[in-house]
């Protein structure tokens, strides 16, 4: 009963919601009577500010709360429209009630941010207190969700980015919102989101002196608030997880038929994640709704999550999104041009390159072993004449040494460079070469507890950023030397060099056309425009995935993508020169296999984005820890599954 009493007695609590039937409101409503039981006097249509003499015309009701109503209100001298929160004095007659209104005004009036509802002015007369706020003509996310039932993932990314931006600003001002929910996210005429309603907001207190009052909307309360452990920034992050879940599924995560059961689910962090959600959405929701506050991500880290980096985020939304699901196109001022470009590019019969959106549970399974003999069978192969043995194999028995050499170097044949070897090759032969090398290493590598000493890797090229937009155009990526490439859905490839002036076009493996961005052949205009869009998007929105850098190449790009493959755990990319990269979603680790100076090198980028490079011959002699071996095994199996 104490818990119910604390929630219901907040003067600007969830009872003051502006939204109709918001999912997750689960409001604790009580019937209120007017002072002395009398009905309020009819409010005047024209309201005058006693201090300034300004007159306002009161319009339609925008929303209702427990202690206030929100009206559309127009300044008669300027015609500017506001959202006016009007609180009758009779509703805040007790000192503690008035203190809460004053605190809301003092906190809100100093806030200035594009994703925070702007506070303009406040005044009072003998009947009411008036707070003039920014007018958001599209109302709130609660209204939008009521009309839409659920939102698409790109829309959720769009709204969450703006919520996080506003919330980060609040936390930097040491202000907790404490009532984040769909009804408190207002949408402007231009579809910009604004965080509003600071009736429960409070200054952040030191950990030992935090507010322990249970307040907010029941379905969005965090476990620590329910357990009276106090409010911190982590409680707002928890509410953000509830908001994300509600937008994607149309109902809050802890909604049940009774409040007691809802609170039990919250305390246990027990909720369902339907299979309809993408793996990235599930991962982000799980981290936001971590039971322990310290396990939830900081706001700075949320937008770096794979849910944002691996999915399309629209730059703007049309107003039609308020009532119907959008059709997303590449964001550009020339939308009609993109439609024409896409039609010219992919119209008629589409000869799509093979790519895979998901790969079910990939388990370690090895095919026929490589054609060389194993060290244990006593029949070592004959070493190729004239080939020096890698330094890491000096001092080993001849049998082991020869096997290592064949694994890490022999598969390149007699070519002077890998590109020469692949000139007349196919994607399949490149993959087979990498498969043989990786499988041979795993089958002969001993177990070890520590990572061996690394080596320097000169100017390694690898993918630092990527975007999957294959539902419309193709797969884009940025290399460490700042070259941007796109493998289009029709199987062709374009690279934009680091100088942003030169384009290399590959109709098929080994056949390249070069032209300037200032003189694009007419039939390539559509693809070059899409290529530039990918480059701009990754530059503006994505961060690099590691600490390895390369020198820009303004002449001939060495690398271009042949094939890519996504599973529920990782992204695999295979390049023309045999470079092979796998990015793991859950911890952002990466492995890169490439050749340098006729020797295979393996680079591992850990969770902290710090890289280590090893000769494959070193791993064969000294082994590697289980976590790196598991990633290598998973990568091999992605290769084996790529054509299934």
Find which of 75-79, 352-356, 370-374 is predicted with most confidence, using mean pLDDT.
Answer: 75-79
566-579 pLDDT, tens digit each: 888 899 999 988 89
- Structural contact between residues 242 and 183, judged by C-beta atoms closer than 8 angstroms: no
Residue recorded with tokens 């000769």: 615
Query: Residue 364 and residue 372: Cα distance in Å, rounded?
Result: 21
Which is higher by pLDDT, 376 or 515?
A: 515
Q: What is the pLDDT of residue 383?
A: 31
Pairing of strands 611-615, 599-605: antiparallel
Mean predicted confidence (pLDDT) in 493-504: 92
Verify that 120 and 186 share a domain, yes or no: no
Q: Is residue 429 in a domain?
A: no
Verify that 25 and 50 share a domain, yes or no: yes
* DSSP structure class, residue 297: P
Q: Is residue 373 in a domain?
A: no
- Structural contact between residues 523 and 529, judged by C-beta atoms closer than 8 angstroms: no
Domain end residue (candidates: 134, 167, 198): 134
148-196 pLDDT, tens digit each: 999 999 999 999 999 999 999 999 999 999 999 999 999 999 999 999 9
Q: Is residue 104 in a domain?
A: yes
Domain end residue (candidates: 87, 115, 134): 134
Please provide the DSSP assignment of 381-415 as one string.
Answer: PPPPTTPPPPGGGTTS-HHHHHHHHHHHTGGGTT-
Q: Is residue 225 in a domain?
A: yes
* DSSP structure class, residue 202: E
- Extract the tokens encoding 235: 């409680």
> Known binding site for ATP: residues?
85
Verify that 130 and 258 share a domain, yes or no: no
Please provide the DSSP assignment of 77-130 as one string.
Answer: TT--EEEEEEEEGGGG-SHHHHHHHHHHHHHHTT---TTBPPEEEEEE-SSEEE
Q: Is residue 403 in a domain?
A: no
Residue 195: strand, helix, or coil: strand
Domain end residue (candidates: 270, 303, 322): 322
Verify that 130 and 147 share a domain, yes or no: no
Which is higher by pLDDT, 212 or 100?
A: 100
Q: What is the pLDDT of residue 135?
A: 97
Confidence of residue 335 (pLDDT cuts 50, 70, 90): very low
Verify that 476 and 572 share a domain, yes or no: yes
- Structural domain range at position 82: 2-29+44-134
- Extract the tokens encoding 562: 């042949």
Which residues fall within 8 angstroms of residue 531, CB to CB, at 6 or more apart? 476, 484, 486, 494, 496, 503
Tell me, rounded to whole angstroms, the distance of Cα 467 from its chain centroid: 11
Query: Residue 384 and residue 266: Cα distance in Å, rounded?
Result: 66
Verify that 126 and 249 share a domain, yes or no: no
- Extract the tokens encoding 13: 């609590």
CATH code for the domain of 555? 3.30.1120.30
Verify that 213 and 80 share a domain, yes or no: no
Mean predicted confidence (pLDDT) in 430-440: 85
Q: Is residue 380 in a domain?
A: no
Phi and psi at residue 245, in whole multiples of 5°?
Answer: -60, -45
Q: Give rounded-to-5 percent helix, strand, coil for the chain.
A: 35, 20, 45
581-607 pLDDT, tens digit each: 999 988 889 999 988 777 888 999 888
Q: Enter the pTM of the model.
A: 0.51
Which entry of 49, 179, 236, 553 is annotated as an active-site residue? 179
Query: Residue 76 and residue 454: Cα distance in Å, rounded?
Result: 73
Verify that 315 and 200 share a domain, yes or no: yes
Q: Is residue 71 in a domain?
A: yes
Please provide the DSSP assignment of 3-50 as one string.
Answer: HHHHHHT-TTSGGG--SSS-TT----------GGGPPPPPPPSEEE-T
Mean predicted confidence (pLDDT) in 508-532: 87
- Extract the tokens encoding 248: 């994607």
- The alpha-carbon radius of gyration of the chain (Å, integer) is 30
Residue 153: strand, helix, or coil: helix
Verify that 486 and 615 share a domain, yes or no: yes
How many domains in the chain?
3
Active site residue 450: no
Residue recorded with tokens 């107003």: 319
Which residues fall within 8 angstroms of residue 213, CB to CB, at 6 or more apart? 6, 10
Confidence of residue 535 (pLDDT cuts 50, 70, 90): very high
Q: What is the pLDDT of residue 436?
A: 85
Q: What is the pLDDT of residue 460?
A: 82
Verify that 171 and 119 share a domain, yes or no: no
Name which of 488, 419, 22 is nearest 220 in CA terms: 22
Verify that 169 and 114 share a domain, yes or no: no
CATH code for the domain of 158? 1.10.510.10
- Structural contact between residues 101 and 92, judged by C-beta atoms closer than 8 angstroms: yes
Query: Residue 642 and residue 402: Cα distance in Å, rounded?
Result: 30
Q: Is residue 397 in a domain?
A: no
Residue 600: strand, helix, or coil: strand
Verify that 157 and 116 share a domain, yes or no: no
Q: What is the pLDDT of residue 556?
A: 58
CATH code for the domain of 77? 3.30.200.20
Residue 570: CB atoms within 10 A of its CB come to: 21
């Amino acid at each position: 009963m104490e818990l119910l009493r604390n929630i219901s007695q907040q003067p600007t609590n969830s009872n003051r919601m502006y939204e109709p039937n918001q999912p997750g409101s689960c409001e604790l409503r009580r019937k209120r009577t007017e002072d002395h039981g009398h009905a309020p006097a009819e409010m005047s249509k024209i309201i005058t500010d006693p201090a300034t003499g300004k007159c306002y015309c009161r319009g339609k009701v925008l929303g209702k709360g427990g202690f206030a109503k929100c009206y559309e209100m127009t300044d008669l001298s300027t015609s500017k429209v506001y959202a006016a929160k009007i609180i009758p004095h009779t509703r805040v007659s007790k000192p503690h009630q008035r203190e809460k209104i004053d605190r809301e005004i003092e906190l809100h009036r100093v806030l200035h941010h594009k994703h925070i509802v702007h506070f303009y002015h406040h005044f009072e007369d003998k009947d009411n207190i008036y707070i003039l706020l920014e007018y958001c003509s599209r109302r709130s996310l609660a209204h939008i969700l009521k009309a839409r039932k659920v939102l698409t993932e790109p829309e959720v990314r769009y709204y969450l980015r703006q919520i996080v931006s506003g919330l980060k600003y609040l936390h930097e001002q040491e202000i907790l919102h404490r009532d984040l929910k769909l009804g408190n996210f207002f949408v402007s005429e231009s579809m910009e989101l604004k965080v509003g309603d600071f009736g429960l907001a409070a200054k952040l207190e030191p950990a030992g002196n935090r507010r322990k009052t249970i307040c907010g909307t029941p379905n969005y309360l965090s476990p620590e608030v329910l357990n009276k452990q106090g409010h911190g920034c982590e409680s707002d992050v928890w509410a953000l997880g509830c908001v994300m879940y509600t937008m994607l599924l149309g109902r809050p995560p802890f909604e049940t038929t009774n409040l007691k059961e809802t609170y039990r689910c919250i305390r246990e962090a027990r909720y369902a994640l339907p299979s309809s959600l993408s793996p990235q959405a599930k991962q982000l929701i799980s981290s936001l709704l971590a039971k322990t506050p310290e396990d939830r991500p900081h706001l700075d880290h949320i937008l770096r999550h794979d849910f944002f980096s691996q999915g399309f985020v629209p730059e703007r939304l049309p107003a039609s999104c308020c009532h119907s699901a959008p059709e997303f196109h590449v964001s550009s001022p020339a939308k009609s041009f993109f439609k024409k470009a896409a039609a010219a590019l992919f119209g008629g019969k589409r000869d799509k390159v093979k790519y895979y959106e998901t790969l079910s549970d990939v388990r370690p399974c090895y095919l026929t072993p490589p054609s060389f003999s194993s060290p244990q069978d006593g029949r070592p192969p004959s070493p190729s004449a004239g080939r020096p043995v890698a330094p890491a194999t000096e001092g080993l028995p001849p049998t082991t040494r020869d096997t290592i050499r064949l694994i890490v170097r022999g598969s390149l044949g007699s070519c002077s460079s890998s590109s020469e070897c692949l000139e007349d090759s196919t994607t399949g032969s490149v993959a087979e070469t990498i498969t043989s090398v990786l499988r041979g290493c795993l089958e002969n590598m001993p177990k070890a507890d520590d990572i061996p000493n690394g080596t320097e890797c000169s100017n390694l090229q690898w993918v630092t950023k990527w975007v999957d937009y294959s539902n419309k155009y193709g797969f884009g990526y940025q290399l460490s030397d700042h070259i941007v490439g796109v493998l289009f859905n029709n199987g062709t490839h374009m690279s934009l060099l680091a100088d942003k002036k030169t384009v290399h076009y590959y109709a098929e493996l080994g056949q390249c056309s070069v032209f300037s961005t200032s003189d694009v052949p007419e039939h390539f205009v559509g693809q070059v425009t899409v290529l530039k869009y990918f480059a701009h998007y990754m530059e503006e929105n994505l961060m690099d995935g590691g600490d390895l850098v390369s020198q820009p190449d303004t002449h001939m790009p060495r690398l271009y993508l042949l094939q890519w493959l996504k599973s529920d755990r990782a992204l695999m990319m295979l390049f023309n020169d045999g470079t092979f990269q796998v990015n793991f979603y859950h911890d952002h680790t990466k492995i890169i296999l490439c050749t340098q100076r006729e020797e295979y090198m393996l680079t591992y980028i850990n969770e902290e984005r710090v890289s280590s490079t090893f000769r494959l011959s070193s791993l064969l002699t000294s082994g590697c820890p289980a976590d790196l071996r598991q990633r290598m095994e998973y990568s091999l199996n992605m290769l084996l599954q790529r054509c299934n």
